[in-house]
């Protein structure tokens, strides 16, 4: 693993750990549930045509082993990424919103330009911070306790200059599926009255103003059902995730 890949792995691991620890505090198990936040009266949608820059969807699909470890599956992940991108575009089309893709979505090997890579990483960090500090009262930040005030900074303006758009849409999604051993263990422990975590979906999305860099809307989703590998089910997940989006 190269240094860049190791750094990326470490960032994803920390974000996953934060979300996994957070989810049980926010949601009950079962069907898909969401918790959203927005800028409220501070948000003013532009008049006329609205263009959304679709940032590369950060998707990972894994196998949940008997011991509870997540083993990423490259083929599943690529299929899930394609399905998520298609679902995002379909959702925007239904809302009569023009979509500009950051890169060639059909190419699984495309890379985020170096000057924008930090922005993508920053979004993951900010998204994790929003989920942690806005949804758990005990961890609320004093300066942000009564307002939704988060930003990705001036780097977004450079992104607008090179790619255009009124808003940038960032999506992070993970899906996992229990192995046969995990399923057998779940059944055996259930007989003894002990419950363990099975596969689940965790996702969040952010809508960012391309002029100011401000996050104007954020939503986090958790589900014990669904399958991003299936186009129809992936569309259902994205519909739920974006349901409260203000555009």
Whether the pLDDT of residue 31 is over 70: the answer is no
**Integer Cα distance of 91 and 85 in angstroms:** 10
Tell whether 207 is covered by a domain: yes
Q: Is residue 247 part of a domain?
A: no
Residue 30: the pLDDT is 52
DSSP string, 229-243: TSHHHHHHHHHHHHT
- The reply to whether 76 falls in a domain is yes
- Tell me which of 209 and 27 has the higher pLDDT: 209
Residue 107, in any domain of the structure: yes
CA distance linking residue 187 with residue 199, whole number of Å: 14
The number of CA neighbours under 13 Å toward the Cβ of 157 is 4
Asked whether residue 231 is domain-assigned, the answer is: yes
How many domains is the chain partitioned into structurally? 1
Rounded CA gap, 29 and 32, in Å? Answer: 9
Domain span holding position 32: 3-242
Predicted confidence (pLDDT) per residue in 130-162, tens digit: 877 777 677 677 777 677 888 888 888 888 988
Tell if the pTM clears 0.85, that is, is over it: no
Q: What is the mean pLDDT of the chain?
A: 81
32-60 tens-digit pLDDT:
667 777 776 667 777 788 999 999 898 99
User: Considering the domain boundaries, does residue 214 fall inside one?
Assistant: yes
């Amino acid at each position: 693993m190269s240094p860049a890949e190791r750094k990326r792995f470490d960032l994803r691991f920390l974000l996953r750990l934060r979300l996994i620890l957070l989810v049980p505090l926010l949601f009950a198990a079962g069907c898909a549930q969401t918790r959203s936040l927005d800028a409220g009266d501070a948000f003013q949608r532009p008049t006329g045509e609205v263009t959304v820059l679709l940032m590369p969807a950060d998707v990972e699909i894994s196998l949940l082993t008997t011991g509870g470890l997540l083993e990423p599956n490259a083929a599943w992940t690529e299929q899930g990424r394609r399905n998520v991108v298609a679902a995002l575009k379909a959702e925007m089309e239904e809302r009569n919103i023009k979509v500009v893709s950051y890169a060639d979505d059909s190419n699984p090997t495309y890379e985020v330009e170096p000057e924008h890579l930090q922005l993508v990483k920053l979004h993951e960090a900010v998204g994790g911070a929003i989920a942690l500090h806005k949804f758990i009262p005990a961890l609320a930040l004093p300066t942000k306790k009564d307002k939704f005030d988060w930003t990705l900074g001036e780097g977004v303006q450079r992104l607008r200059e090179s790619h255009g758009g009124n808003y940038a849409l960032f999506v992070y999604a993970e899906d996992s599926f229990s192995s046969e051993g995990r399923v057998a263990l779940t059944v055996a422990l259930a007989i003894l009255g002990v419950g363990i975590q099975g596969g689940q979906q965790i996702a969040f999305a952010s809508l960012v103003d391309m002029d100011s860099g401000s996050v104007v809307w954020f939503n986090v989703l958790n589900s014990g059902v669904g399958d991003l590998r299936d186009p129809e089910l992936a569309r259902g997940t994205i519909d739920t995730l974006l349901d409260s989006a203000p555009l």
